[in-house]
Amino acid sequence: MLAFVDPSTIAGLSTRTITGTRDQHVHISYPVLPNAPGLTDKLRAEVTAELRAFDLAAPRPAPATPDEPHTAKPPELNVDWQLTAYSPQVIGVRLRTGRFTGGVWHDSLCTIWYDRATGRAVDSPGLLKEGALAAVAARVKRELARDGPDVRPGRVRPDTGTFDSMDFNRRGDLVVEFDDEQVAARYLGRVAVAVPNREAATLLSGVGALARAAAQSIPPGKPPPSAAFDRRYPQARSSRAGTVDCAVAKCVALTFDDGPGRYTSRLLSILTEHGARATFFMVGSNVVAQPALLRRIRDEGSLIADHSWSHRNLAPLSSARVGDQLSRTQDAVAEAVGQTPTLMRAPYGSLSPTVVQVARQLGLSIVMWNVDTRDGPDETADDVAARAIGGARRGAIIGMHDVYSATIDAIPRILTTLTQEGYVFVTVPELFPGDHMEPGHIYVSGETTPANATSPPPSSP
Ligand code: ZN
């Protein structure tokens, strides 16, 4: 078992999100560590290469239509991250890439290390001294040979591709991790070999020794949240709920997905300047990077909601996996702000009966949108603003993303124009009488009753 660094303990950490084109199910998240530009460049290059490979391999899904909102299992690329070490000398980032291009889901791992003294990123084999990779490969082969007929040690080659994910456990053993089906049959799951501490010590480079020391000094993490955990926290509610009566006022709800990211704090300042508040559907792996920003969102009257842990398409997943994706983010938010989210939005707006059932069990109402600004990496602020303003009506839920610069640029115009038209910007529950929303119900807007709102709109935040 590897130990990971709690990202909330690192001041100045933020995350970057890369999404695909509109009809692609692509979500990539990677961390930006303070004062480590060489690491950021390397991580960006790594995930960009993944995206390019996916673009080449994945068949383009047909655009969604109202009759056929989504194919059951479209191609998908998902990149998530963990910190394997963080010390004054060295940083380790483990990227986990999940890919579906037909057939079966495929997970792969890649761990990038960063030498803070030289400002250089190194691939995992850089943990080893000159010539030691062959020795590690031989050791790993011997170990795998003992593991039965469905493991293929012959596939282990002493090259960078095979050994692209090496880390250390708390004991200081060198842990070599393999991708799905890289060296073993699929049903065996994740395959890893630990080279024991003492043996590994003789094989490490200077950076490797520093990396091992850093991994061994990771403070023990918080215990995993228990079922009782959530109940210790009240349900999330805007600190300004009750100040607007939407039966009287012309209310709309702005919603922002996929953050928090590097623009979120700018967005928040704009909202507060205009006396507006919004609902943020956040990705858990971004939440843990910026707990202080979450507290600011809470304090300024906006609401934090659940957009899954790593933005996987939840529809094809088992209830256990869906539960993990949603409850981990609930727990992370609760830990940061002391309130448990009661709203969720499914990545890509993609639902299944299982997702609905799990949401209900977790006390989460499902929030879609009825105004689609179609914002994205290539959209202009003018277009985003025009769609938001053009679509606004009483009770509307407007879908946007706080990970695109152009979206943030559109916000002042949206707020100014709609304020002039008499609109008031509230959080989603405030659209409903008594702020009441039912867990497991699907809400498309504040205009319709949940019973009428069963089919998701044809678009994909
Ligand atoms: Zn999203």
pLDDT at 215 over 50: yes
For residue 26, the CA-to-ligand 1 centroid distance in Å is: 9
**Which pLDDT score, from 0 to 100, does residue 208 have?**
98
Distance 163 CA to ligand 1 centre (A): 32
Evaluate if residue 461 carries a pLDDT over 70. no
Distance 312 CA to ligand 1 centre (A): 9
Q: What pLDDT does 229 receive?
A: 47
| For residue 326, pLDDT beyond 90 | yes
Model confidence at 115: pLDDT above 60: yes
pLDDT at position 222: 67
How does residue 453 score in pLDDT terms, banded at 50, 70 and 90? very low
DSSP one-letter string for 158-219: SSTTTT--EEEBTT--EEEEE-TTTSB-GGG-SEEEEEPHHHHHTTB-HHHHHHHHHHHTPP
Angle CA 133–137–140, to nearest 5? 135
pTM of the model: 0.91
Give the whole-angstrom CA distance, residue 400 versus residue 407.
7
- When pLDDT is averaged across residues 288-309 and rounded to a whole number, the result is 96
- Region 12-38 average pLDDT: 93
Residue 63 has what pLDDT?
59
Distance 125 CA to ligand 1 centre (A): 34
Band of residue 4 on the pLDDT scale cut at 50, 70, 90? very high
> Separation of 315 CA from ligand 1 center, angstroms?
14
Residue 284 pLDDT greater than 60, yes or no:
yes
Q: pLDDT tens digits, residue range 388-432?
A: 999 999 999 999 999 999 999 999 999 999 999 999 999 999 999
Catalytic residue among 25, 311, 401, 441: 401
Please name the residues in contact with 160: beta carbons below 8 A apart, sequence gap of 6 or more. 123, 124, 125
Tens digit of each residue's pLDDT (9 = 90 or more) over 233-243: 899 999 999 99
State both tokens at 26.
Answer: 């692509």
456 pLDDT more than 80: no
Taking the centre of ligand 1 as the mean of its atom positions, its distance from the CA of residue 156, in whole angstroms, is 37
Distance (angstroms) between ligand 1 centre and the Cα of 287 equals: 14
Query: Residue 449: which pLDDT band, with cuts at 50, 70 and 90?
Result: very low
Q: What percent of the chain has pLDDT over 70?
A: 92
Does the structure show a pLDDT above 50 at 458? no
Domains annotated for the chain, with CATH where assigned, are 7-216 (3.30.565.40), 227-443 (3.20.20.370)
Rounded percentage of the chain residues whose pLDDT exceeds 90: 81
Instruction: Please state, rounded to an integer, the average pLDDT across all residues of the chain.
Output: 91
CA of 227 to the centre of ligand 1 (A): 26
Active site residue 401: yes
pLDDT of 272 higher than 80: yes
Q: Is the pLDDT of residue 230 over 70?
A: no
The alpha carbon of 19 and the centre of ligand 1 are apart by a number of angstroms equal to 9
Contacts (Cβ under 8 Å, ≥6 apart) of 112: 39, 42, 43, 46, 92, 93, 95, 121, 122, 123, 124
Round to whole Å and give the CA distance between 132 and 158.
9
| Residue 257 annotated to the active site | yes
What's the pLDDT at 226? Answer: 53
Give the model's confidence band at 306: pLDDT under 50 very low, under 70 low, under 90 confident, else very high: very high
Task: Determine the pLDDT at residue 59.
Answer: 75
Q: How confident is the model at residue 110 (pLDDT cuts 50, 70, 90)?
A: very high
* Half-sphere exposure in the Cβ direction for 173 (13 Å, CA): 14
Rounded Cα gap, residues 149 and 185, in angstroms: 9
Residue among 115, 167, 173, 257 flagged as catalytic: 257
CA 198 to centroid of ligand 1, rounded, Å: 45
Task: For the chain, give the number of residues.
Answer: 461
CA dist 11 to 2, 55, 124, 254, 288, Å?
A: 23, 35, 25, 29, 12
* Distance (Å) from CA 284 to ligand 1 centroid: 12
Indicate whether 68 pLDDT > 60: no
Pair type for strands 174-178 and 166-168: antiparallel
Q: Say yes or no to pLDDT of 81 above 90.
A: yes
Residue 454 pLDDT exceeds 50: no
What pLDDT does 61 receive? 61
From start to end of 20-172, where are the E strands? 25-32, 76-86, 90-100, 106-115, 120-123, 166-168
Give yes or no for a contact between 49 and 42, defined as CB atoms under 8 angstroms apart: no
How far is the centre of ligand 1, averaged over its atoms, from the C-alpha of 64 (Å)?
Answer: 16
